[in-house]
Amino acid sequence: MQNNKRQVLGITSIAAGVMFMLSASQAFAVTTLKLSHNQNRDHAVHKAMTEFANEVKEKTNGELRIRIYSDSQLGNQRESIELMQNGALDIAKSNAAELEAFSPAYSIFNLPYLFRDKAHYQQVINSDIGKEILDSSQNVGFIGLTYYDAGARSFYAKKPIRTPEDLNGLKIRVQPSPTAIAMVKGLKGNPTPLAYGELYTALQQGVVDAAENNITSFTLSRHGEVTKFFSLDEHTMIPDVLLISNKSLNKLTTAQQEIVKKAALNSSKYMMQLWEKSEQEQRTKAEKQGVEFIVVDKTLFQNAVNPMYDDIARTQPELFEMVNRVRKVE
């Protein structure tokens, strides 16, 4: 009888121990979200995402973590979006040009000279218009968490570009955005959609004659080694966008969702600080490497693309309505 009691007590102790370990395991269960982007680890956007990941880990007491994959390790921007749609990736960084193919609302950012200046651009992304655009892709499997500053985009080439006529006939790498393609056509260039990772070699080998991007990406991607003229026409301000799949967001608790959204917004503010410093540093670096920065008369370029807005008014009334809303933002 004594032995039976000992056996029962032993079994009870083991069961209690197993239950404790299970409950402890559940209490300290860690959910890891994968985040993909196409820049290197020195880029300001990677540093902003690291800040985002750190805040999420801290505010969830380590229960939710974000693992960042830089340098297109998990695919280029379009491939990353498709992986999110398939449930194979949780978070990705893209930009408004790539996103136009998934949600037409993003095309507003790809229109040349729509924003009066940087302050106007910031007012728009922080307005109801900006929030509408972030939410506009929900029906295709993901939403935008926040915008990351990516400066103004300008043309760069192996020869100086001082006027729109200098673009005539050039093969110009563009992102796969119908609006970007239409802009280059309007400037009499030959738009050539091409993956960002292939651009250095394409410039080097003459597959394309020119490209357009911001100063930081131009320098960190070493494009200044093969193109020595950067024209400050600043035709567009296209934000990067931090995206999360619907599936990944919905599997989080309500509290975790709020933490992720707040941390994303905070990292966006941090990115603005990083960007200004990064752009100044990278321009100085490029100049030391022999790149000439050319100040142009922007009105010449603005006048050259004005017919685009006439076409939009005739053929895309909904987009033109959005254009007018943006223009009215003070």
pLDDT tens digits for 63-84? 999 999 999 999 989 999 999 9
How confident is residue 24, by pLDDT bands cut at 50, 70 and 90?
very low
User: Which residues have a Cβ under 8 Å from the Cβ of 172 and sit 6 or more positions away?
Assistant: 155, 184, 189, 190, 191, 192, 208, 209, 210, 211, 212
Structural contact between residues 153 and 237, judged by C-beta atoms closer than 8 angstroms: yes
Quickly state the pLDDT bin for 222 (edges 50, 70, 90): very high
**Structure token digits, residue 14:** 């083991």
| CA 10/CA 3 separation, integer angstroms | 10
- Split into its structural domains, the chain has a count of 1
Q: Is the pLDDT of residue 175 over 90?
A: no
Please say if the pLDDT value at position 20 is more than 90. Answer: no
Whole-angstrom distance, CA of residue 70 vs CA of residue 273: 21
Q: Does a structural domain hold residue 12?
A: no
Within a domain: residue 217?
A: yes
> Model confidence over 95-114: pLDDT tens digits?
998 999 999 999 999 999 99
CA neighbor of 145 nearest in space, from 276, 55, 28, 41 = 55
**pTM of the predicted structure, to 2 decimals:** 0.83
Question: Residue 57 falls within a domain, yes or no?
Answer: yes
Would you say residue 242 lies in a domain? yes
Q: Which residue has the higher pLDDT, 263 or 23?
A: 263
Residue 188 DSSP label: T
Percent of the chain with pLDDT over 70: 92
182 in a structural domain: yes
290 in any annotated domain: yes
pLDDT beyond 70 at 5:
no
Distances (CA, A) of 105 to 30, 34, 101, 136, 325: 36, 26, 10, 7, 13
Residue at 136 is within a domain: yes
> Which domain range does residue 320 map to?
31-328
Reported confidence tier of residue 23, pLDDT bands at 50, 70, 90:
very low
Residue from 104, 95, 81 nearest 35 by CA: 81
d(CA 1, CA 222): 82
Which of the four pLDDT bands, split at 50, 70 and 90, describes residue 26? very low
Query: 46-73: b or e for each residue (b if 16 or more CB lie within 10 Å)?
Result: bbbbbbbbebbbebbeebbebebbbebe
Confidence band, pLDDT 50/70/90 cuts, at residue 7: low
Does residue 8 carry a pLDDT above 90?
A: no
- Rounded to the nearest integer, the mean pLDDT of the chain is 91
In a domain, 17, yes or no: no
Summarize pLDDT for 118-138 with one digit per residue, the tens.
999 999 999 999 999 999 999
**What CATH number is attached to the domain comprising 176?**
3.40.190.170
DSSP state of 291: P
